[in-house]
Amino acid sequence: MKTAAVVLQILFFIFLLPGAGCQQLLPLSGRTSKTDNDFDKLTAYSRFAPEKINIMPLTEFINTDNIRQISIKPYVSLLDSFGSQIKSPGIFRFELYQRAIRSAEPKGKRVVIWQDIDLNEPAVNHEYWRDFLRAYEFDLPFELDINQSYILQVTCLCPNGRRLSDEFALKLTK
């Protein structure tokens, strides 16, 4: 009787194993797997879209000929999901706030907001792009208030609908 049970188990495994590997498994999403010809290009390129914005430490005040007129020269880089600096279309908005000393919220009263800079057109985008820095360079003029610290905020409105923002503390040094 023991031999019959062992023989039945062996036959069961012989017929079960070849049948178990014949069916193709579907992905968890329930869709069929994609071939190389059906590659989703939008998904591949979305990893190279801007994920973060950074105001570079090169950002500074620039003196002009006018005593009360001064300019801020911000350098802004966009980073993709890999952390690489990239060139991308977008609309940039710059705002300058007074810096509130010894406060939980360092951004005080807004001093100035500049007109949005639209870099969606390739020629305009290239005009602001500095390839050797892998960043954008802007020129923002405003009236000077001596002995005041500021916070510069930049917001980039990306074509994919994302809104990226960064802040940078500025102090006028003479």
Read off the pLDDT of residues 81-117 as tens digits, 9 standing for 90 and up: 999 999 999 999 999 999 888 888 888 899 999 999 9
Q: What is the pLDDT of residue 160?
A: 86
Q: How many CB atoms lie within 10 A of CB 63?
A: 12
Q: Is the pLDDT of residue 21 over 70?
A: no
Give the C-alpha distances (Å, rounded to integers) separating 112 from 95, 97, 109, 116.
Answer: 6, 7, 9, 12
pLDDT tens-digit readout, 108-166? 899 999 999 999 999 999 999 999 999 999 999 987 766 788 999 999 999 889 999 99
Q: Is the pLDDT of residue 19 over 70?
A: no
The C-alpha atoms of residue 20 and residue 18 are separated, in whole angstroms, by 6
Instruction: Pick the closest to residue 144 from 60, 55, 66 (CA basis).
Output: 66
Going by pLDDT thresholds of 50, 70 and 90, the confidence category of residue 6 is: low
Q: What is the pLDDT of residue 22?
A: 53
As beta bridge partners, residue 60 has 73
The C-alpha atoms of residue 136 and residue 157 are separated, in whole angstroms, by 15
Categorise residue 64: left if φ over 0, alpha if ψ from -120 to 50, beta otherwise: beta
Q: What is the pLDDT of residue 110?
A: 92
Residue pair 96/150 in contact (Cβ under 8 Å)? The answer is yes
CA dihedral 116→121→127→131, nearest 10 degrees, is: 110
Instruction: Pick the closest to residue 109 from 83, 148, 137, 156 (CA basis).
Output: 148
Question: Between the ranges 7-16, 19-28, 65-74, 162-171, where is the mean pLDDT highest?
Answer: 162-171
Q: What is the pLDDT of residue 148?
A: 80
Q: What is the pTM of this model?
A: 0.72
Q: What is the Cβ-side half-sphere exposure of residue 70, based on CA atoms within 13 angstroms? A: 16
The length of the chain, given as a count of residues = 174
Q: Is the pLDDT of residue 171 over 60?
A: yes
The C-alpha atoms of residue 136 and residue 150 are separated, in whole angstroms, by 21
Domains of the chain: 50-171 (2.60.40.10)
pLDDT tens-digit readout, 26-77? 555 555 555 554 456 767 777 888 999 999 999 988 877 766 678 899 999 9
